Amino acid sequence: MTLDTFIDALPKVELHVHLIGSASVATVLELSRRHPGSRVPTAEEELRRFYTFSDFPHFARVYKAVNGLVTEPEDVATLVLGLARDLAPQGCRYVELQVTPFAHHVVGMPMREVTEALDLAARRSLTEHGVEMAYIFDIPGEYGEEAARITLEHALQEPPAALVGFGIGGIEQERVKYTDAYRSAFSAARAAGLHSVPHGGEMSGPETVWETIEGYGAERIGHGINCLQDDRLVAYLRETQLPLDVCPTSNLCTGQIASIEEHPLPRMLEEGLYVTLNSDDPPMFATTLAGEYRVAANVFGFGRTELAQLARNGVRASYLGEDAKAALLAEIDDLVTHG
């Protein structure tokens, strides 16, 4: 078995991927043809050119344009099912998908209808593609108190059956304007039994990671790559083994690192930190979940042992049931032994 074949066969989970950012060309074509009056191309060749990013502002425009296609609950379900279809051939068995209820609220979608679409899509993802879908509701961090309130209300009043977590994304530097609102929202979500999985330390420094820990009660952190700037934080993360969901290609495409070779993932592992490997917004960054494992192999020189350990880390850091975790871990061990 070649390393490429091993990567494809390796059972995986995806813990950091966004609903809008997961939309592949095939899925966006379905949506753009459903809503032909949008700015998004309805011809495949033209759409592929549209998806070829020249810089980060271009990415932001494309993301906004695709988001503008999601105006009905059916569109939400289409995105979820498209992601399951795309992940299944990559050996992915389980996903914790980041959904931003506020984005659906502002275009007038009722909470109940969004939840029904998410529930339907989760059932079909499992039966049609063999991918178990869970959800994380996240606050867009630059939108303040209203976004926090709407996200929390949806999570507490009309949660999808597979809702497991509560998060926050968006522009990290904007969060300091709304510290009390965000801390309060996370406190209420945790009290209701949701896991705290905020972004932190992606586009800002260690202070944001500390805020996710001390202010939001983080149980797992999205990105966290700038933790290495603070020795005390590194020591804390090493001691607690608080998982960090790392997305190398995303960090390159958004300008957080100068080159993929400079990504801190290898050093994070050398420091004894708990790292999982994920794709973030895969089609928009011209990557896949399996592609991130190939980056780890081809750029960082990881072999089967290291790649299998990253896959195990993802399983253990997930909110899958214990029996399902044990079964996936056994599959990974079997592949390593007999693959």
Q: Which residues are catalytic?
A: 202
Query: Buried b vs exposed e over 168-192: b needs ≥16 C-beta within 10 Å?
Result: bbbebeebeebeebbbbbbebbeee
| Phi-psi sector, 108: left (phi>0), alpha (psi -120 to 50), beta | left
Kindly give, in sequence order, each residue whose CB lies less than 8 Å from that of residue 193, ignoring residues fewer than 6 positions away.
none
Nearest in space to 201 (alpha carbons), one of 165, 244, 238, 241: 244
In the 8-state DSSP scheme, what is residue 15? E
How far is C-alpha 21 from the geometric centre of its chain's CA atoms?
Answer: 9
Amino acid at 11: P
Residue 207: how many other CB atoms lie within 10 Å: 15
Do 275 and 244 meet the contact criterion of CB atoms below 8 Å apart? yes
Buried-exposed string 123-160: b where 16+ CB fall within 10 A, e elsewhere: ebbbeebebbbbbbbbbbbebbeebbebbbebbbebbb
Beta pairing partners, 200 = 223
